[in-house]
Amino acid sequence: MQSDPQRLVLGAAQLGMDYGVANITGKPDSIEAEKVVRSAWEGGVREFDTAPGYGDSQKKLGRIFETLGIKSQARVISKIDTSLDHLDKDALGSSIKRTLEDLRCDSLYGLMLHRESFLELWDKGLGNILETFIDLGMIEFVGVSVYSNDKALQALSTEGISMVQVPANIFDRRFEDAGVFQLADELGKTVYIRSVFLQGLLLMNTDDLPKTMMFAEPALRDLCRLSEETGLSRQELALGYVKSVYPDAKILFGAETELQVKENMKVWEKKFPEGLDKNFRARFAHLDERILNPSLW
């Protein structure tokens, strides 16, 4: 099991907007945002995930990269603005240039389709357009953020797509069961896991659940019991699980404070008990999709 901190990716949505059902501190100010990025970098994190739709996340990252003197070393993955015509080469090119200007970087490590539905345009010219931007040195790799198993498998099987971002956590093993991680391994492509804490739900107290989300209470109480039984915090269970079960995947985590970064980095280094993943599989085998899919909240 790898504890390499370079497997971790700092999700920067929290730096540009209020994000997550458990977010109680709100968007960090510029000083705290710099501390978040600095702490992650000093801990070994080298990749950052952002998007034009994440408020001022990209501009904030760019200023911080320049202040820390790491803009030539940081690997940034951004996404295509969903409002753009994805078959308009000029519009896409202008958008990528704005993103690079915001980030104060010469090129993107990765550029992802922000919605899986845009995969339908791949063979209609989108794939060729994005290949052009790779040839120009504006981006290194192309990927897609998906919500469904079939689109993840489709993306991995598509020539020209090198990375796929999927949700996976203690509660959500749909992509694992569908063979997504196995196919990525066979094809030498990279899976990025988001929603490790299910947008903070896995770390919430049941008393703090919004009334509209009480359907998640039984599963959350069961997770709390498992935490008590093992002596491990829910944060340790959540990060340890994905680290152990998906050893070749990159793991996204977000933070609104420097303390949260340090806590996650500390937890990442801990050893996850062998065999505990089987306990998870048995206890959380048939959860309602309302719990697994934040868009249904």
Q: What is the mean pLDDT of the chain?
A: 94
State the pLDDT at residue 92.
98
What phi-psi label fits residue 55: left (phi over 0), alpha (psi between -120 and 50 degrees) or beta?
Answer: left
State the pLDDT at residue 23.
44
Q: Report the CATH fold assignment for 5-285.
A: TIM Barrel (3.20.20)
State the pLDDT at residue 27.
85
User: What is the mean pLDDT of each successive set of 10 residues along the chain, which is 297 residues long?
Assistant: 86 82 68 97 98 96 98 97 98 98 98 97 98 98 97 98 97 96 98 95 93 95 95 96 95 95 96 88 90 91
- Domain borders along the chain are 5-285
Closest C-alpha among 231, 201, 226 to residue 281: 226
3-state SS, the chain, equals CCCCHHHEEEECHHHHCCCCCCCCCCCCCHHHHHHHHHHHHHCCCCEEECCCCCCCHHHHHHHHHHHHCCCCCCEEEEECCCCCCCCCHHHHHHHHHHHHHHHCCCCEEEEEECCHHHHHHHHHCHHHHHHHHHHCCCEEEEEEECCCHHHHHHHHCCCCCCEEEEECCCCCCHHHHCCHHHHHHHHCCEEEEECCCCCCHHHCCHHHCCHHHHHHHHHHHHHHHHHHHHCCCHHHHHHHHHHHHCCCCEEEEECCCHHHHHHHHHHHCCCCCCCHHHHHHHHCCCCCHHHHCHHHC
Reported as a single tens digit per residue, the pLDDT across 256-269 is 999 999 999 999 99
CA distances from 250 to 7, 107, 162, 167, 180 (A): 5, 20, 13, 12, 14
Reported as a single tens digit per residue, the pLDDT across 64-120 is 999 999 999 999 999 999 999 999 999 999 999 999 999 999 999 999 999 999 999
State the pLDDT at residue 291.
95
Q: Which residues contact 148 (CB under 8 A, 6 or more apart)?
A: 116
Q: Is the pTM of this model over 0.85?
A: yes
State the pLDDT at residue 176.
95
